[in-house]
């Protein structure tokens, strides 16, 4: 199981944005120096929940600031991007990084309606926009005199420049927040990224993913390769002892949960608009929510928290489920850089070696 860092930095006030962006760059360089596999970037707007806001420009900066770590999107919200502009930008970052780019695409937020309102996009169009944009990007990377006539875009592209560094195009992966979209990826034999779920839901989905690929005619080698490129997300906080990790990490996680709901709650109060599902913080559920709906808001499901030994044990259990990699958010809520740095160093110096020893035993 591969390890990666999800750079999803919270800035509670506009005055903090610049410092948090600087801290996030330092965090990325540290992970590159310590040999982590991937840096993943988020995209959220207007609320401070992702301080750098635009993963495309930040990925370009990371491509020049780092040497060996891969740079991926988890995810770019394709309903908010022009697909040809995005294809050009990805080709450029592919060159800057010398092929270290992972183009992770998604429909857009399933929670924050203000992301769509700010860009003048109807939320109900998001999935169709994603599918059309992905098709356009792939064709524009690989086809001269490409012409497209679709629901949202009518385009003619003589030739995309620069051509991609990676042939035929940068590595592409899709985020799947629900089981139905995951099954769609399985039927196509494609890897996917899973959002925060309970370990039980994660196991159920991965078992179903493998089964569906097999039933769709993919052989064992193809299935194993797809699983090896599939990623699941958890928050993480490592300290010297379990008690210290819980004392510091859990309040940070609770502050993160509250911050991520703040703008959502405000927009609901001011405009009467919400995309929140049952069980979302800040919105009273009309009925009990399914565990997979609320997993990211529950400490024991969303946060891997403890000493190096405890964290290695928890990771070994996730590894037993059979996933290719884990997307770990190290900066939890308003954690200062020094606290995040300590968590990363403990992970790479103590957790990763113990994890390797456990799965080798």
Range of the domain at 294: 2-360
Identify the CATH number of the domain in which residue 57 sits: 3.20.20.30
Q: For the chain (length 361 residues), average pLDDT per consecutive 10?
A: 98 98 98 98 98 98 98 97 98 98 95 96 96 98 98 98 98 95 97 97 98 98 98 98 98 97 95 74 40 76 98 98 98 98 98 96 85
Q: How many domains are contained in the chain? A: 1
How does 120-150 read in b/e, with b if 16+ C-beta sit within 10 Å?
Answer: ebebebbeebbbbbbebbbbbbeeeebebee
Q: Rounded mean pLDDT of the chain? A: 94
64 membership: H or E segment, kind and range: helix 55-65
Q: Residue 199: count other Cβ atoms within 10 Å of its Cβ.
A: 17
Per-residue pLDDT at 282? 40
Write out the two tokens for 292. 């997979």
Per-residue pLDDT at 291? 40
Q: What does pTM read for this prediction?
A: 0.95
């Amino acid at each position: 199981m591969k390890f990666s860092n999800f750079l999803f930095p919270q800035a509670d006030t506009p005055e903090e944005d610049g410092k948090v962006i600087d801290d996030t760059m330092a965090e990325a360089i540290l992970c590159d120096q310590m040999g982590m596999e991937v840096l993943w970037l988020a995209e959220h707007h207007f609320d401070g929940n992702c301080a750098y806001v635009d993963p495309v420009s930040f990925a370009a900066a990371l491509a020049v600031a780092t040497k060996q770590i891969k740079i991926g999107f988890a995810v770019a919200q394709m309903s908010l991007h022009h697909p040809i502009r995005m294809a050009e930008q990805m080709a450029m970052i592919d060159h800057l990084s010398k092929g270290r780019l992972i183009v992770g695409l998604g429909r857009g937020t399933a929670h924050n309606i203000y992301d769509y309102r700010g860009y003048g996009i109807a939320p109900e169009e998001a999935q169709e926009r994603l599918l059309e944009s992905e098709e356009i990007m792939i064709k524009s990377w690989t086809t001269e005199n490409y012409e497209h006539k679709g629901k949202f875009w009518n385009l003619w592209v003589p030739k995309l420049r620069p051509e991609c560094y990676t042939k035929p195009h940068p590595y592409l992966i899709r985020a799947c927040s629900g089981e139905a979209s995951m099954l769609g990826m399985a039927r196509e034999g494609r890897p996917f990224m899973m959002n925060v779920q309970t370990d039980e839901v994660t196991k159920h989905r991965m078992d179903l993913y493998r089964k569906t690929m097999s039933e769709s005619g993919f052989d064992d080698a193809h299935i194993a390769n797809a699983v090896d490129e599939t990623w699941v997300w958890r928050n993480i906080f490592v300290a010297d002892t379990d008690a210290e990790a819980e004392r510091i990490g859990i309040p940070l996680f609770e502050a993160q949960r509250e911050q991520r709901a703040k703008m959502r709650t405000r927009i609901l109060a001011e405009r009467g608009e919400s995309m929140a599902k049952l069980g979302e913080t800040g919105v009273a559920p009309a009925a009990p929510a399914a565990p997979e709906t609320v997993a990211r808001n529950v400490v024991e499901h969303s946060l891997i928290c403890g000493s190096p030994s405890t964290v290695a044990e928890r990771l070994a259990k996730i590894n037993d489920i059979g996933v290719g990699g884990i997307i770990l958010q190290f900066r939890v809520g308003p954690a200062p850089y020094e606290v995040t740095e300590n968590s990363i160093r403990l992970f790479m110096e103590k957790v990763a070696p113990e994890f390797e020893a456990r799965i080798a035993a």
